Amino acid sequence: MFHSPRIPRPGDLQLRILQVLWDCGEAGVREVHAAVEPERRLAYTTIATMLRKMEERGFVTHREEGRAFIYKAAVAAGDVSRDAGDHFVERLFEGSLANAVSHLLQTREVTREDLDQIEKMVKEAKRRAK
């Protein structure tokens, strides 16, 4: 299986900021703060500092527009979720995808629609594995 190069794992606030940037494409500190602040009650300067730290870690890039910095994600959502999923399976279930799925099916509320989707994914994975 192909694995993309490991990217640093974002913390909760960093992940929330990335979600805002993935949704918007790009945004200034003010827009990111407006999207995050009602949930977290953080100061504008906290968001500005976090964006600067995220740029140092390679999560975001910026361009200048007048005096404002406009940020955009430098990592793809799929890469971050794939890395988090791999970490979850490796660390908690010793690499066993079956044990991870079993755990989720036993501990989460699962609808008939969820099960139908999972069944379709399993069928597709079986086709690819031939």
Same domain, 19 and 68: yes
User: Strand pairing partners for 28?
Assistant: 70
Same domain, 65 and 25: yes
The percent of residues in the chain predicted with pLDDT above 90, rounded, is: 57
Specify if 100 maps to a domain.
yes
pTM of the model: 0.74
Q: Helix, strand, coil % (nearest 5) of the chain?
A: 65, 10, 25
19-57 pLDDT, tens digit each: 999 999 999 999 999 999 888 889 999 999 999 999 999
Specify if 5 maps to a domain.
no
Residue 95 belongs to what domain range? 77-129
Same domain, 35 and 50: yes
Same domain, 63 and 92: no
Distances (CA, A) of 123 to 90, 115, 117, 130: 23, 12, 10, 11
Same domain, 83 and 47: no
